[in-house]
Structure 1
Amino acid sequence: MKKGCVIVRTKHFLFFLFFLTFFSVLSGEEVSLLGLDFTEYPRVRALLTPVEGEVSEVYIDGIKSNIFTEELLRSKTRLVVGILIQEEIEADFLENILKEFSKDFLVPPVFTLWSYATSIDFITPPVEFELATRSIPLLTHRTYNNESTRLTDAVCTVSSYLKYQEGIKILLIIGDGSNSGSFFNEDYAISLIHESGTIPFFIGNWKSTQTPKKILHSTNYGLLFSSQKKDLHKVTAEIFQLIRQSKIINFQGLGNFNENLIEFRYENDPPEVYDFFAPKMNVHWYLRKNPISDGQLELDFDLSGEERLRIGTKLRIELISSNGFYDSWSAKYRVGPLPIQPRMLEKGVWLFVVTSPEFSELISGYVVFSKLPGPLIETKLPSLTNKTNITVSFAHKGGVPLRYVKVNGNTFKMADPDLTVPLTLKDGYNELVLEYIDYFGRIFGPITKSIFLDSLPPSLELSETPKYTNKRKIILSGYAQDNLQLLSVQVGDKLFRIEDDTYNFETELEIKKGKNVFVVRTEDLAGNTTVETIEIYGDFDSPNIQSLNYPHFTKESEIILTVNATDNTGINEITIDNQPFDPSMKFIPIKLLKNGENIVNVSIVDLAGNIAMQKIVIVKDNEPPVIKAPERFVFNDRTAKEIEFDVWDNFGVDSVMVDDKRIFKKGEHFFAKIPQLEPGARKLLSIKAIDLAGNMAQTFIEVVYDVEPPTINVNDGYFTTREIEIKDDFGLKKISYNGEITSLEGTITKILIPFKEKRTMTITVEDTGGNVYSLKIKVYPWYLSPAFLIFIVAFIAFWIGIRFGVAYSRRRHKHHRVKLQ
């Protein structure tokens, strides 16, 4: 037969499992049973550690019982874990352990937290992980008096408290094993563990293992883990993992708590047999008045139905408190409830234990709470708000949890560690009356709170800002005002804290290329906000002038300019010589103020103020081109094909046409093709010249096919010359004689030709058609020239006349002189 106590020692994180025999002798045999639960007796639940083999059969005192096996994680049976701490352990570690342990349970486990040393401190009743973690700091942040560690008193108290919790109960004791100052010894602890059906686990760096070993030897089940202090966290985590992996064997007891032995049989392993320690007495306790809610204690216990007790059997009632109080008194058994003398209890946890010196199997405990500290509650309630519908939050921060919260008479159940209650407010002051009801039914309150509803947002005025800019920085100014008090004004990342109802501000905005969004937000104390969004597009690039379409040369006083420009923000204005034009105009008129070159300044301004400038030159030309061509072109040879002429203009010739057919310049001159004519025929060629401004000049050339040479008529001259008359139908070109060449013009001309040495010469005349005619002429000697002969005749006549006059004068003078006499 095996005893169920297990001692586990750890070193270097390695576990070695040893089992104690009934006589406290270490055995090498391995056991699986952790404990038995008699809560629903005669139904019994056995909690077994995870083993390789499955339990196939269960026998109770040799009688086979039907079994049902299930994993603890998947069981509908609640697991209640009491944590009793004397060793120092970190809050964060314990919280993480419980959080990890609570995962995946079909029915979430609950935890009740206690601590012990000189006093036994109740932290929280059985609650789920969420609530338990709120009280862990109260459990771990404590200073313990190592001079007195009431280990057995603590085990008795917590075991008796767990007795009335439904489910499989595990008591985890983390301490050093020392036991001093306790009023109850190990036998009390063993009996009360049996009564409550609690499975004890002892963990620690033991100063002494005497008390834990004795308790485990006698309780028939439980575990003892020995760990160095540095490995305490590791061992604790392993224990919780062991519990998670355990299994539940459900079977039926024989009834009347008369069982002695229980045997677990395996398919491939030898069976395991354990003592069946079920509660031997069934004691009923009745709490008539609760010290917490009623202010005093009235407690009864009833032993009715125990045939083994006789009327008048001596009973002993003992009372200990968590703070070290002890009292005891005697009573006698009778049928029916036996009252415990009413009394006022001081603050703390009180354990009543009834025993009998005449009947050793009688022992039962009952725990009463008196004047426990109130729960730690955090209430988040704004004194000022801007929301008509709000929620008030209540958070359990530790200690005894709340059951209910009352808000203005409305009751809300605190099912979770945190509770939110919706409220509807009216403008102005709103009064709230709060009451709190804790786990034990205590009422805290009423507490009156006020909330002011301010639904009016602050006003915000901002200076005007450009939508587009080419500046790197812009100054923004503004004014904020609120009916109560402003809290802040925020411009982008800049925050201005305010403690007034008005505020003037000015700040510098840094502009980056592209879209800049600045959010200006003002908030009052109630949380009302007014938000203005400013969008400023930073444009530091000038517009792109793609093309300017205009006539570079014109004869008009006004031309049309077409502007083709693009910009990433848009064109705001087009300026021509400082005169603005709407950018939507497709055609812009430009007046030309003078002839010749006109310089026009074109400026494109975008929405951000960037300017792109370009100068253009437009030539105003009112003068037509000049055509330098002969009025007549005469030729005498059919091989002649072209007429040479020139065209000139101040600013350039655009085109030249002969008889409306365009011709092009060859080298330095223009050439007109000679039409085919019959000899003696003529034709007019039309020559048009257009300059770059569109001015046109026109002239005509008479083309003559001349095969007749010029004629020469010779007349005598007055002296040693001959006068010749030259004629041609279409024009004379030149004459040559005496080795000299003289140009001629016109169709007829007269020339005096002098003779110097020779009295004969040859005269050659050429007309414009290239026809040549030569004539040899003679001249008289000088003394036979008409001039000389005329002179001789005149001289003779003059001499005769003089002579005749002299004779006449003499005759008259003689006649006159005679008469006077």
Structure 2
Amino acid sequence: MRKWIVLTLFLLCAISFYAEELNILGFSFDKYPTINAILLPTESDVNYVRIDGVPRNIESVPLAISRKQVAIGILYQENISTAFLAELAKQLSETFFIEPLFTLWDYSNEFSLVLPAASQEFIKPNLSKETTYPDDPSRTKLLDSICAITSYLKNIGDLRFLIIIGNGDDTDSMISVKETSRLILESGVIPIFIGNWKNKTYPLNILREIGFGMSITVDRRDLSKSITDVFEYLEESTLLTFQALGDRKENIVEFGFKNLQKEQYSLNPPPWKVQWYTKTNPVKDGKVELSFDITPVEFPTRTMMEIRKYSSRGEVEKYEFEYSPGASELDKDVLAEGVWLYLLSIDGTDYISGKTVFSKLPGPKIRFEVPPLVSSKRISVDLKYEGGIPLNEIIVNNEQIVVDETEETITLELNSGYNNIEMEYIDHFGRSFGPVSKRIFVDGEKPVIEMDEIPEHTNKNQLIIMGTIKDNLGLLSIKVDGKVQNLQERESYSFSIPVDIYPGSNKININGEDLAGNTSEKTIHVTGDFVLPNILSINYEEHTSKDIATISLKATDNTEVSHVMINGTRFEYAREPFSVKLPKEGLNKIDIVVYDITGNSRKETIQIIKDTRSPEILLDESTIILNQSSLNFQVRDNQGVNDVYVENKRATKKDSDLYTADLGTIEPGAEKTLEITAIDIAGNISKKTIRLINDVKPPEIIEISLPFFSRKITFSDDFGLKEITFQGKQYTLSGTSTTLNIPFSEGNRGTIYLEDIAGNTTEFPIKTRPWYTSPYFLYPTIAFVFFWVGLRIGIIYMKKRHHKKSKFKL
């Protein structure tokens, strides 16, 4: 949201309607056919731009980072605070990618230049006090002042804004509102009116004429806040750049925003471009030679043009001349002191152009002090700008130095003895002031300080600093740790001064100075060490497969960390990281003790697990699958698995030890070889190559013994059998061929379900008979019956035959 204060924003469109809180602040036509527009902070970006209905390409960039130099003119009549304005300019300069330029003008009875275009450092010294005008001045030149500053700004920077601070009165201006508006358009300046407008006629008429800009009505006590808000608008604004149609006759530009809002403005590009030339520099002596050239419009050779020449106090001269192509000589004259405005126009038309010329302005105010006696052959001297026209450069002993700030430090190279220094100043307008001569004497011999022995470390709260200071000419003073003793021009002095020692580093400075300003300094560093070292971090691998562990640590101490003891072995701290042998498999406890240079120590204990066992991949080298697109398998490790890769692709972890990998497509009966790599958290690596077989062939019953009774059955599979199920009982199988005895009972019927290791199944119905119908029982029984019957028949036969024979004998 915009931070609108209680004010009115006037953005006036060419179709003559008045609107509040529109989004476009203004336009700049000075680079025509390129048009620059300033978009105020808004919640919606510009979506399109159309000129007279013709779409145009648009470039959008925040103004602060647009790599365009912004020039801001401030024309003020109200009170204005030096510190306030300087701080605003400083904040804006820190935000913008290219530091803006600022020019300050004031107006009342006449318009006058306070500060030509310069960086923000020059604002404060040029406003050494607040400028105040009466509430109702008898004479004011608002329009003339606007014309003078806009004509000055048009060749400065890439984008220009003019902030007018006043009450709106204009009693003595000789330039009309329409001419003022055309000069604003020609210069590419966007005007912003701020003040307690007692008379709003001129600001509103100007804004209606040009079709853009801003007017803020505010009470004097809120003036500073309003100016601050305007600077924030500029800081947060966006630069929009697009191309005109090229004929300087554009009428309406329409902006469409992404929130579907539309805004229309009139376009009033200046009908011509006038290039002004100044052959001399009237700032110094008032002599001016002015000429101009016109592009792109060509006029008939007898076109009458008018020149008006104004001083800051009023119109001076007016004359006409016939136009001729090419550069035209305009004026050769000596101007009185002040600001001059030249206006070139064609009567009754919109053709008008302005040129601002400065004559005989006062020079810069400079403070430059050189010490008469120094001790160094290379010294730095401060030059301070205190107001007036800003400095451009300084010439010191024929060496040119460019001045960018209000305070410059100049380095002088000197010789022993007397040195003559000549300086010349050149201001913003190229004027030269000087030369100014200075004399400096150099005495380069320093006093000598000799110190007694001082310990580097101590646990005492106080030390006595002792030594001797000498000089060839005479001593001025000696200072030990801030305690000064005047030596009254002695050539030698022995000192003994107590100094307090604090925990940590104690820096003790001993400074001696002689009469010529030569100084000698000795610095003693004494460490008061009363605290233990601090271990910030210990970095190591908690699990490793190596016999040697690498340990790095960071430690601090109020003095200095000396060394480290690790399990009784000394390591220099400066040589970390440290290599430590792990004595055993499994858990190893390691004691780390850090020492500072005074022997204070701190202990930490860490644990490192030595693991040399590689992870175990639980998967057969030959694995049978059945139309699977993924493979699930287990990987186990005694400490933990870190990563598993299948054919260099990371496997997905499903559970603590279970992983899955994508197999892609394997044709039925085809084989695929995969390499599985497992890495545990200690870095041990296991690799296993497996052969995957897509087995889609079901198992077979290849032999059936005694088919009438189905008792003994043989099963087979190309890659392996898994189990059979019969009458609710499961029988685990192994191998590729197995023969089983199926127990039978009377009236036993059922189906055998056979499954191979790939998951293929076969069903086989069987029927078992009673045991007494088994051929193993039935055949012997029948044979025995026949044998017994035959035996009985034979016995009967033999008995009958024997009986017959016996009977015959009787």
TM-score by length of 1: 0.56
1:232-631 matched pairs, under 5 angstroms? 232-292=223-283, 295-303=286-294, 306-309=297-300, 311-313=302-304, 315-322=305-312, 324-336=313-325, 337-357=327-347, 359-457=348-446, 483=473, 487-488=476-477, 495=484, 501=489, 522-529=512-519
Q: Number of matched residues?
A: 515
How many angstroms apart in 1 are the aligned matches of 2:507 and 2:242?
Answer: 74
User: Which stretch of structure 1 is more off in the superposition, 404-413 or 189-198?
Assistant: 404-413
**Higher CA-based Rg:** 1
How many angstroms apart in 2 are the aligned matches of 1:356 and 1:364?
Answer: 10
% same residue:
34
| Shift in CA distance, 334/462, structure 1 to aligned 2, threshold 3 Å | closer
Task: Specify the SS of the correspondent of 1:221.
Answer: coil
Tell me if structure 2 keeps the 8 A contact 1:459–1:482. no
| Shift in CA distance, 492/195, structure 1 to aligned 2, threshold 3 Å | closer
Q: CA offsets per residue over residues 333-369 of structure 1, 9 Å max, x none?
A: 2204443342211222211112233x32121110111
Tell me if structure 1 keeps the 8 A contact 2:28–2:185. no
How many angstroms apart in 2 are the aligned matches of 1:29 and 1:230?
Answer: 24
- Quick one: which of 90, 104, 108 aligns to 1:113? 104
How many angstroms apart in 2 are the aligned matches of 1:270 and 1:122?
Answer: 42
Structure-2 residue corresponding to 1:141? 130
Give how far 1:502 is off: 5.3
| Shift in CA distance, 394/510, structure 1 to aligned 2, threshold 3 Å | closer
Structure-1 residue corresponding to 2:23? 32
Tell me if structure 2 keeps the 8 A contact 1:392–1:423. yes
Task: Specify the SS of the correspondent of 1:445.
Answer: strand
| Shift in CA distance, 286/40, structure 1 to aligned 2, threshold 3 Å | same
- Quick one: which of 76, 101, 120 aligns to 2:92? 101
Match status 1:87 vs 2:52: no
Structure-1 residue corresponding to 2:37? 46
How many angstroms apart in 2 are the aligned matches of 1:286 and 1:256?
Answer: 26
How many angstroms apart in 2 are the aligned matches of 1:33 and 1:164?
Answer: 23
Structure-2 residue corresponding to 1:197? 188
How many angstroms apart in 2 are the aligned matches of 1:41 and 1:533?
Answer: 66
What letter is aligned with 2:50? Y
User: Which stretch of structure 1 is more off in the superposition, 216-225 or 487-496?
Assistant: 487-496
Match status 1:69 vs 2:60: yes
| Shift in CA distance, 355/170, structure 1 to aligned 2, threshold 3 Å | same
How many angstroms apart in 1 are the aligned matches of 2:55 and 2:44?
Answer: 19
How many angstroms apart in 1 are the aligned matches of 2:339 and 2:451?
Answer: 67
How many angstroms apart in 2 are the aligned matches of 1:396 and 1:488?
Answer: 34
Tell me if structure 2 keeps the 8 A contact 1:86–1:176. yes
What letter is aligned with 1:319? K
How many angstroms apart in 2 are the aligned matches of 1:408 and 1:243?
Answer: 44
Structure-2 residue corresponding to 1:691? none
How many angstroms apart in 2 are the aligned matches of 1:417 and 1:141?
Answer: 19
Give how far 1:494 is off: 6.0
Task: Specify the SS of the correspondent of 2:213.
Answer: strand
What letter is aligned with 2:395? K
Q: CA offsets per residue over residues 80-107 of structure 1, 9 Å max, x none?
A: 1111122112222112211222233222
What letter is aligned with 1:195? E
What letter is aligned with 1:345? L
Give how far 1:378 is off: 3.6
How many angstroms apart in 1 are the aligned matches of 2:496 and 2:417?
Answer: 38
How many angstroms apart in 2 are the aligned matches of 1:508 and 1:421?
Answer: 40
Give how far 1:166 is off: 3.6
Q: CA offsets per residue over residues 197-226 of structure 1, 9 Å max, x none?
A: 100001112222222112112121110111
Task: Specify the SS of the correspondent of 1:214.
Answer: helix
How many angstroms apart in 1 are the aligned matches of 2:411 and 2:116?
Answer: 28
How many angstroms apart in 2 are the aligned matches of 1:517 and 1:165?
Answer: 53
| Shift in CA distance, 256/367, structure 1 to aligned 2, threshold 3 Å | same
| Shift in CA distance, 84/487, structure 1 to aligned 2, threshold 3 Å | farther
| Shift in CA distance, 495/251, structure 1 to aligned 2, threshold 3 Å | same
Give how far 1:281 is off: 2.6
Tell me if structure 2 keeps the 8 A contact 1:39–1:166. no
Tell me if structure 2 keeps the 8 A contact 1:86–1:174. yes
Task: Specify the SS of the correspondent of 1:152.
Answer: helix
Match status 1:160 vs 2:125: no
How many angstroms apart in 2 are the aligned matches of 1:275 and 1:21?
Answer: 5
TM-score by length of 2: 0.57
Consecutive unaligned residues in structure 2, runs of 5 or more: 453-461, 526-810
Q: CA offsets per residue over residues 280-333 of structure 1, 9 Å max, x none?
A: 2322322122213565111123347644555052x33222223x1431221222
Task: Specify the SS of the correspondent of 1:411.
Answer: strand
Alignment RMSD (CA, Å): 4.0
| Shift in CA distance, 178/462, structure 1 to aligned 2, threshold 3 Å | same
What letter is aligned with 2:379? I
How many angstroms apart in 1 are the aligned matches of 2:272 and 2:446?
Answer: 73
How many angstroms apart in 1 are the aligned matches of 2:511 and 2:296?
Answer: 79
Task: Specify the SS of the correspondent of 1:171.
Answer: strand
Structure-2 residue corresponding to 1:601? none
How many angstroms apart in 2 are the aligned matches of 1:421 and 1:96?
Answer: 26
User: Which stretch of structure 1 is more off in the superposition, 195-204 or 66-75?
Assistant: 66-75
Structure-1 residue corresponding to 2:165? 174
Tell me if structure 2 keeps the 8 A contact 1:84–1:114. yes
Tell me if structure 2 keeps the 8 A contact 1:134–1:396. no
Give how far 1:193 is off: 0.6
Task: Specify the SS of the correspondent of 1:192.
Answer: helix
| Shift in CA distance, 510/394, structure 1 to aligned 2, threshold 3 Å | closer
| Shift in CA distance, 271/9, structure 1 to aligned 2, threshold 3 Å | closer
Task: Specify the SS of the correspondent of 1:34.
Answer: strand
Task: Specify the SS of the correspondent of 1:73.
Answer: helix
What letter is aligned with 2:352? I
Tell me if structure 2 keeps the 8 A contact 1:124–1:400. yes
Tell me if structure 1 keeps the 8 A contact 2:8–2:216. no
How many angstroms apart in 1 are the aligned matches of 2:277 and 2:193?
Answer: 32
How many angstroms apart in 2 are the aligned matches of 1:513 and 1:371?
Answer: 65
| Shift in CA distance, 189/486, structure 1 to aligned 2, threshold 3 Å | farther
Tell me if structure 1 keeps the 8 A contact 2:300–2:323. no
How many angstroms apart in 2 are the aligned matches of 1:31 and 1:405?
Answer: 48
| Shift in CA distance, 187/135, structure 1 to aligned 2, threshold 3 Å | farther
What letter is aligned with 1:352? Y
Give how far 1:451 is off: 1.7
